[in-house]
Chains A and B, each alone.
Chain A
Amino acid sequence: DSGVTQTPKHLITATGQRVTLRCSPRSGDLSVYWYQQSLDQGLQFLIHYYNGEERAKGNILERFSAQQFPDLHSELNLSSLELGDSALYFCASSGGGIDSNEQFFGPGTRLTVL
């Protein structure tokens, strides 16, 4: 158990819909990263937040947005969903201290768009 939690574990929805994925980082971690992993693909970096502020953006579509709240949990919002958005979405956290240079991954949210 990495200490990073993600909800829901599975999500099935229809094209055109909007969903919200939630991530709670490890206690004390200030950074949250979001990744997308399509079937048999590598990890695509989406976005990074540090202590509530956006720090880096990767290949994140305009239909996607994210935020990090004062309690440090983060949400990834996916709207106008398309079939190609079906993927495993990972959240990872890192923070200060001796472990600050590695990421701890949550179990992922599997999104299926029908």
Chain B
Amino acid sequence: AQTVTQSQPEMSVQEAETVTLSCTYDTSESDYYLFWYKQPPSRQMILVIRQEAYKQQNATENRFSVNFQKAAKSFSLKISDSQLGDAAMYFCAYRGKGGNQFYFGTGTSLTVIP
């Protein structure tokens, strides 16, 4: 079974600074999708960014970007110009192409310090 590992239970960043959240995964598939979800205190799960494994170019959404290293099975999230509203739990997720299940990591709690 696929596994997703987030080795940083907690991270903190100063407002306006940059922070990188780590995620690694284990799979034998060659084509798959990776996601980062944000869960603020409201507990709503919000999709931040997604990456398709066959695309070499790293995905970017405004201040959020990923560093996708397929060979290393690494998928980190970089948040630039951190804002107070970025404080949340962040989950990394994996889905195989055509797969029936999404696999989530255990999450990283991000604190933004004013």
Contacts and interface: CB of A to CB of B under 8 A. Distances in A.
Contacts of A56: 100-101
Given A42-B105, A102-B50, A92 B45 contact: yes
Contact of A105 (B44, B100, B105): B44
- Interface size band for B: 20 to 34
- Which of B47, B91, B97 has its CB near the most chain A CB atoms (within 10 A)? B47
A102 B47 contact: yes
Interface in A75-101: 88, 90, 92, 101
A50 interface: yes
A112 to B, nearest CB: 14
B68 interface: no
Interface residues of A, number: 21
B45 A105 contact: yes
Contact of B102 (A50, A103, A107, A108): A103
A103 B104 CA distance: 12
A43 B97 CA distance: 20
Nearest to B9: A40
A43 B44 contact: no
Given A42-B106, A56-B100, 15 more contacts: A42-B91, A42-B107, A43-B45, A43-B91, A45-B102, A45-B104, A48-B100, A50-B100, A55-B100, A56-B101, A90-B45, A101-B50, A103-B35, A103-B102, A104-B47
16 contacts: A37-B43, A42-B106, A43-B45, A43-B104, A48-B101, A56-B101, A88-B43, A101-B50, A101-B97, A102-B35, A102-B50, A103-B35, A103-B47, A105-B37, A105-B46, A107-B43
